[in-house]
Amino acid sequence: MKSKKDPGSSAGPNPGFSRRGFLGVGLGSGAVGVGLLEKPAVAEPAGAEVVGPQAVPVTLNINGKPVNLTLEPRVTLLDAMRNYIGLTGAKKVCDRATCGACTVMLNGKIVYSCTVLAIDAQGKEIQTIEGLAAPGELHPVSAAFWNNDAQQCGYCTPGFVMAATGFLKENPNPTDADVRHGLGGNFCRCGTYMGIRKAVLEAAETLKKGGASNG
Amino acid sequence: MANTPDYSWPPMETRQVMGQNIKRLDGPQKSAGRAKYTSDFTRKDLLFAAYQTSPYAHARVTKVDTTPAERMPGVKAVQVVSPAGTEVQWEGTEIVAVAAVTEEIATEAVGKIKVEYEVLPHLVREDDLTKAGTHVKAAGEKTVGDPEQAFQQAEVTSDGHYGIPVVTHCCLETHGQVIEWRGDHVNCWPSTQDVTRYAGTLAPNLKVPVANIDVRMDYVGGGFGSKFAPDSWGEVCARLSQKAGGAPVKLFLDRATEQLIAGNRPSAYAKIKLGGKKDGTITAWQSESWATGGVTGGGSPPLPYIIANIPNQRQNHSAVSVNCGPQRAWRAPNNQQASYLTCCAIEDFAAKAALDPLEVFKTNLNLYAPEARRATYAWQLDKAAELAEWKQLWKLRGQGSKGAVKRGLGIGFNAWAGMGHNSQCRAIIHADGSVEIEIGTQDLGTGTRTIITQVAAETFGLPVGAVGLTIGSNQLPPDSASGGSTTVGGVSASTRKASVNALAKLYEAAAPALGVEPAQLEARGGKIQVKGGGKSLTWAEACRKIGGGGSISETGANDSRNPGGLIAAGASGIQIADVSVDTETGVVKVNRYVAVQDCGLIINPRLAESQVYGAIIMGISTALFEQRVMDEQTGRMLNADMEFYKLAGISDIGDIVVHMDIRPENDKRGVIGLGEPPAIAICAAIGNAVANAIGVRVPRIPMTPDHVLDTLDGRAV
Ligand code: FES
Ligand code: FES
């Protein structure tokens, strides 16, 4: 198992130091590993399509629905969601793959959306916290966070809920030690970790039993 | 009304809603990502703003050429903050801001603005006083008794050097706001700890009447003492909006700027000498301390902390001015530093006397101030020792484990006032039975929404779900800043009073139907009933008796100077850290952390515990990892980010054991704030535990591997 803070092994040295070079870094908690993004930016193959700098049409498949946008290629998935689509559950906190507040799922795997370009997220299933449960309902992981008071100001909470959801997919029967290791890629300033530990273990139980939420 | 109504809390054993572990009322919104913070503000016409800031710690601005930004398509307004001639006193000072139609354009445009500087000499480090030269100013001297003689007569003396660095607030939601300035009206959506006073502070700068400024905030992503004022960015944001024809402008600091200028805790360094008797009685204190809170100096820890009545003392304190972002209040200002310096000196004294520090903390209880808390500390020392298995696990300094990994225990203590602030509340009961509570307060994540609702529900004899609550606007009855652990006392008292007043009116409306005097009624279990049983009306039936306008609207106020019996000041706590130190790698791990804390009457034990957990986790983070690292060569902060400004993660905190001291004698005192007291003693307890483990004092927080290894190798200052 690998913490988010470990750099992705395939990211390799990156002479260009471009934002895309970090794509391998922002991978999810647990055993998500690398290979999530089709091509690490360093070794951009010859003949790759060059777009921009002007805005280009972009289609994102978010929470099961296609969203058509016109975006400059430099816009991150996080900024696209927050500034262009109005999906503000994912938060911009460090903006460089350290804190996990911007966590979403890409093809079922956890990523830091501040470190994925929107144009690179095309053709993939993007799931955000808004897509976890129908309006008025709570996903079992969100419910477990509520039940265990795993939020104070709540700014880190959506990122933690997404990270925990992805973690539980990979680790449906976690121990307390697994939780401590697997959620090491998210930070909370208010200090809600004690509640989060309990919440993730409770959510694992609920999900095994079929996932009814108590919202 | 002839008599003052009885506002006092119902007795502990009869409370129905207060004292219950009600789940945080805004929890579903937060955990489903539906809570809207100011930084989540979206609107079609929203403009995004960005700053260019100074790369120099000390410089004079000689030129600001904004034309490259003004020419860029999409740029709607440019505001120069530091024009040519301005002396910049710290890195990160705002020079110029740009508002544009997208965040990308704003960032790019502001980067194109050409700023020139004349670079001036700087000082950015204060840890070595001998290098600070003219930046050092005397900041206080004090002599009590006859320290000279006391040290001569002392049977044991101990000496130590101690330091606790500048740390940043690092709120996850950075500082900022959205402001829309149309005509003579200004709409503000700040990220603030003080909704009520935001408009009043901003108004003079904008030259707009306070009454024309509307302030709204539902959620705030952390403050910790750094978000009391609109700040310069509030005014800049408003001016950008005005220049852009009144479109709303969103201006939030980026992470680096947040770390540089949006708040930090002052440092504190000291040489401390203690003298006393072989039995552990402390008779003499001598300290030479210094601190910085930025250019204006600042940071003056109250020494000696808690054990304030040491009969013979000599102290002197210096303030160091550095070219770094200014200090702000940081969750118990000055207290963490004071607790660290004092508790470490006591531990070193105990080690020198070969005594158990737990006993030394107890032997000197008669020196604690205030006197009224001594018995509480005595009880808490024993309780914390029991929970930490002190008797079984504690060994004399350095005489614990044999191998490379050493285990140690250490103690820290805290004290805080936490008296409720001025607060006004309106309670409205409608003829259809619905209830609304209105207060212009804010919920920082401390659970303010939940506890206000619990107090109102308790008073009305209703479940929490029957009480509606509106907070977060300056159009509501005024509250005060959420700082100094004053909110819970303020809002609980004002809510109690407003609710009791409204209920008195409901009794008047319902009494005739029950054929009794209003004074004979009580509200319990969803009913208005004759006291001691007998006839009753359901809540809904009673509310239907409300005549006239169809609703009762009553206010209640808490006056912090005349609080009545509902609230009090004076929380205290004892904490014990149990750590392991790997003497080969220098890594410190927290095994277990025990906190015993009182805060008077507790409205929601679950939320109270969360406050203590949070305070301890933040404290562990500062004790093990956090420090602002300044480079004297360039004058720059080397870790203005979150990779190298390291916060504790979920695996770094060990196991935390919280014991809320809710004995009836504490409950009787009324409600006392809890946000800061448990955040005070963590550096102290962990610092002491490390010293106990490895046999030598690591003088400087944080307890990083390099600080530990330097100490073990004799390289420490
Ligand atoms: S904002 Fe993306 S990891 Fe911090
Ligand atoms: S709840 Fe505030 S940062 Fe986690």
- Span A201-214, pLDDT tens digits: 999 999 999 865 44
| Residue B549: predicted pLDDT | 66
Residue the block writes with tokens 């927290």: B590
Tell if the CB–CB gap between A79 and B40 is shorter than 8 Å. Answer: no
Per-residue pLDDT of B457-506, as tens digits, reads: 999 999 999 999 999 999 999 999 999 999 999 999 999 999 999 999 99
Stretch B239-249: mean pLDDT: 98
The residues that bridge with B655 in the sheet, in sequence order, are B592
| Amino acid identity, position B370 | P
- Coil, strand, or helix at residue B669? coil
Contacts with B211 (C-beta within 8 Å, 6 or more apart), sequence order: none
Tokens representing residue A105 in the block: 């799922």
- Indicate if ligand 1 lies below 6 Å from the C-beta of A95: yes
| Residue A34: predicted pLDDT | 35
> Measured from the CA of A97, which atom of ligand 1 is nearest?
3
Chain A residues touching B612 at Cβ < 8 A: none
CB A125 within 8 A of CB A99: no
Name the least confident of B2-11, B21-30, B401-410. Answer: B2-11
More reliable by pLDDT, A128 or A14:
A128
Spatial separation of the C-alpha atoms in residues B19 and B245, rounded to whole Å: 51
Tell if the CB–CB gap between B32 and A156 is shorter than 8 Å. Answer: no
ipTM topping 0.90: yes
Per-residue pLDDT of B547-597, as tens digits, reads: 876 999 999 999 999 888 999 999 999 999 999 999 999 999 999 999 999
CB B377 within 8 A of CB B387: no
Contacts with A46 (C-beta within 8 Å, 6 or more apart), sequence order: none
Residue B527 scores a pLDDT above 70 = yes
Bond prior to A53 in cis (omega within 30° of 0): yes
Per-residue pLDDT of B221-238, as tens digits, reads: 999 999 999 999 999 999
- Indicate if ligand 2 lies below 6 Å from the C-beta of B614: no
Give, in degrees to the nearest 5, the angle at Cα B688 between B407 and B645.
95
Distance from the alpha carbon of residue A102 to the mean position of ligand 1, in angstroms:
5
- Backbone torsions φ then ψ of A208, nearest 5 degrees: -65, -35
Nearest residue of A to residue B604 by CA position? Answer: A149
pTM for this structure?
Answer: 0.94
Nearest residue of B to residue A87 by CA position? Answer: B40
- Backbone torsions φ then ψ of A123, nearest 5 degrees: 75, 5
Which residue from A132, A184, A194 is facing B613, i.e. has the nearest CB? A194
- Indicate if ligand 2 lies below 6 Å from the C-beta of B489: no
Per-residue pLDDT of B120-178, as tens digits, reads: 999 999 999 999 999 999 999 999 999 999 999 999 999 999 999 999 999 999 999 99
More reliable by pLDDT, B387 or A18:
B387
% of chain B residues with pLDDT over 90: 95
| Residue A212: predicted pLDDT | 52
A153 Cα to chain B: minimum distance (Å):
4
Stretch A146-168: mean pLDDT: 98
| Residue A46: predicted pLDDT | 57
Query: Does residue B170 belong to the interface with chain A, where contact is any CB pair within 8 Å?
Result: yes
- Backbone torsions φ then ψ of B464, nearest 5 degrees: -60, -30
- Backbone torsions φ then ψ of B545, nearest 5 degrees: -80, -5
Spatial separation of the C-alpha atoms in residues B294 and B327, rounded to whole Å: 6
Tokens representing residue A55 in the block: 């805005």
pLDDT bracket for residue A19 (50, 70, 90): very low
pLDDT bracket for residue A15 (50, 70, 90): very low
Average pLDDT, chain B: 96
Tell if the CB–CB gap between B28 and A155 is shorter than 8 Å. Answer: no
Chain B residues touching A155 at Cβ < 8 A: 37, 172-173, 221-222
Tokens representing residue B694 in the block: 């490895």
Query: Does residue B651 belong to the interface with chain A, where contact is any CB pair within 8 Å?
Result: yes
- Coil, strand, or helix at residue B69? helix
Give the residue from B443, B594, B420, B442 showing the smallest Cα distance to B496: B420
| Residue A18: predicted pLDDT | 37
| Residue A24: predicted pLDDT | 35
Residue A39 scores a pLDDT above 50 = no
Residues 212-241 of B with CB under 8 A from A: 219-222, 224
- Indicate if ligand 1 lies below 6 Å from the C-beta of A188: no
DSSP string, B253-295: --HHHHHHHS-EE--EEEEEEEEE-TTS-EEEEEEEEEE--ST
Spatial separation of the C-alpha atoms in residues B411 and B64, rounded to whole Å: 54
Stretch B349-362: mean pLDDT: 98
Spatial separation of the C-alpha atoms in residues B251 and B190, rounded to whole Å: 10
Number of inter-chain CB pairs under 8 A, A vs B = 180
Spatial separation of the C-alpha atoms in residues A199 and A202, rounded to whole Å: 5
- What chain B holds in terms of domains, given with CATH numbers, is 12-35+422-558 (3.30.365.10), 38-121+175-252 (3.90.1170.50), 335-419+568-712 (3.30.365.10)
Nearest residue of B to residue A148 by CA position? Answer: B23
Give the residue from B489, B474, B419 showing the smallest Cα distance to B442: B474
Nearest ligand for residue A91 CA: 1
Q: Hey, what's the torsion of the CAs at A56, A57, A61, A65, to 10 degrees?
A: 150
Nearest residue of A to residue B102 by CA position? Answer: A83
Per-residue pLDDT of B603-630, as tens digits, reads: 999 999 999 999 999 999 999 999 999 9
Tell if the CB–CB gap between B222 and A155 is shorter than 8 Å. Answer: yes
Give the residue from B130, B128, B237 showing the smallest Cα distance to B177: B237
Nearest residue of A to residue B652 by CA position? Answer: A180
- Indicate if ligand 2 lies below 6 Å from the C-beta of A186: no
Bond prior to B370 in cis (omega within 30° of 0): yes
Nearest residue of B to residue A177 by CA position? Answer: B651
Distance from the alpha carbon of residue A83 to the mean position of ligand 1, in angstroms:
16
Give the residue from A26, A36, A24, A33 showing the smallest Cα distance to A5: A26
| Amino acid identity, position B131 | K
Spatial separation of the C-alpha atoms in residues B472 and B448, rounded to whole Å: 11
| Residue B523: predicted pLDDT | 97
| Residue B532: predicted pLDDT | 84
Tell if the CB–CB gap between B446 and A152 is shorter than 8 Å. Answer: yes
Tell if the CB–CB gap between B103 and A129 is shorter than 8 Å. Answer: no
- Half-sphere exposure at residue B90, Cβ-oriented, CA atoms within 13 angstroms: 22
Distance from the alpha carbon of residue A30 to the mean position of ligand 1, in angstroms:
17
| Residue A45: predicted pLDDT | 53
CB A28 within 8 A of CB A163: yes
pLDDT bracket for residue A47 (50, 70, 90): low
CB B64 within 8 A of CB B95: yes
- Indicate if ligand 1 lies below 6 Å from the C-beta of A187: no
Chain B residues touching A142 at Cβ < 8 A: 28, 31-32
Nearest ligand for residue A82 CA: 1
pLDDT bracket for residue B1 (50, 70, 90): very low
- What chain A holds in terms of domains, given with CATH numbers, is 56-131 (3.10.20.30), 140-208 (1.10.150.120)
Name the least confident of A121-125, B434-438, B469-473, B659-663. Answer: B659-663
Chain B residues touching A86 at Cβ < 8 A: 42
| Residue A33: predicted pLDDT | 35
Tell if the CB–CB gap between B39 and A149 is shorter than 8 Å. Answer: no
Contacts with B622 (C-beta within 8 Å, 6 or more apart), sequence order: B167, B336, B682, B683, B701, B702
Using a 10 angstrom Cβ sphere, with 0-12 exposed, 13-18 middle and 19 or more buried, the burial of residue B647 is buried
Q: Are strands A56-62 and A125-127 parallel, antiparallel or unpaired?
A: parallel
Distance from the alpha carbon of residue A103 to the mean position of ligand 1, in angstroms:
7
CB A176 within 8 A of CB B598: no
Residue B716 scores a pLDDT above 80 = no
- Alpha-helical regions (H) of B555-663: 605-624
More reliable by pLDDT, A210 or B70:
B70
- Backbone torsions φ then ψ of B363, nearest 5 degrees: -55, -30
Nearest ligand for residue A193 CA: 2
Chain B residues touching A215 at Cβ < 8 A: 28, 32
- Indicate if ligand 1 lies below 6 Å from the C-beta of A25: no
CB A99 within 8 A of CB B642: yes
The residues that bridge with B271 in the sheet, in sequence order, are B161, B288
Contacts with B419 (C-beta within 8 Å, 6 or more apart), sequence order: B486, B489, B560, B563, B567, B568, B569, B672, B673
CB B265 within 8 A of CB B167: yes
